[in-house]
Amino acid sequence: MDAHLLKELQHISHSMFSKNHFGVFHGSLSAKTDINAFVINRKNIILDEVDESGFIRLTSNTKKDYRWKEASPDTDIHLEIYNSLPNAKYISYTMPPYATAYTFEHSVVIPQDYYGYKDLKEVHVYDPGNFNDWEERAPHEIANYRLLTIRNMNA
């Protein structure tokens, strides 16, 4: 992996972990490296002080091999987003506790900071519905959004 990209991923990962956006073995971070490839964290990794061995490079134009089984459980979601949004450079799946709790009672999140409001105006809370088949549906349903807050599925 390119040293600059690794340093960026480490910085993002550490920052999000220290703000409780990533949990222990929970969350995912990926970066597109070329038109048919991306790096993503391995499964069962702590995203606080991750090194190069914590990421795995995958290609989307070849058959899924053993590397896909070593990668994050969110890999198919990341792949579908990269396919749907060819200009996407980074993808992160996080679960910040306060934002997650907020979704229990609200269907829209309106940023209270100047830049958040200026750029986003509002973020709709997506209700995944039937949790029994969510894992199969998630890659296709999530890919339709630039930014998405999903109502907690463990509620």
The answer for residues whose C-beta is within 8 angstroms of residue 28's C-beta and 6 or more apart is: 40, 41, 72, 73, 74, 75, 78, 91, 92, 93
Residues 69 and 131 in one domain: no
Residues 68 and 101 in one domain: no
Residues 55 and 114 in one domain: no
Cα-only R_g, the chain: 16
Residues 74 and 37 in one domain: yes
Q: How confident is the model over 50-79, as pLDDT tens digits?
A: 899 999 999 988 888 899 999 999 999 899
Residues spanned by the domain of 109: 96-155
Q: How confident is the model over 114-151, as pLDDT tens digits?
A: 988 898 888 888 888 777 887 788 887 877 776 667 76
Residues 20 and 88 in one domain: yes
| pLDDT the model gives residue 155 | 46
What would the mean pLDDT of 94-109 be, rounded to a whole number?
Answer: 84
63 backbone dihedrals φ, ψ, rounded to 5°: -65, 145
Q: CATH no. for residue 1?
A: 3.40.225.10
As a whole number of angstroms, the distance between CA 88 and CA 102 comes to 27
Residues 9 and 45 in one domain: yes
Q: What is the share, in percent, of the chain residues with pLDDT greater than 90? A: 30
The answer for residues whose C-beta is within 8 angstroms of residue 104's C-beta and 6 or more apart is: 151, 152, 155
Residues 117 and 137 in one domain: yes
As a whole number of angstroms, the distance between CA 147 and CA 53 comes to 29
Residues 124 and 57 in one domain: no
What would the mean pLDDT of 12-26 be, rounded to a whole number?
Answer: 82
Residues 107 and 147 in one domain: yes
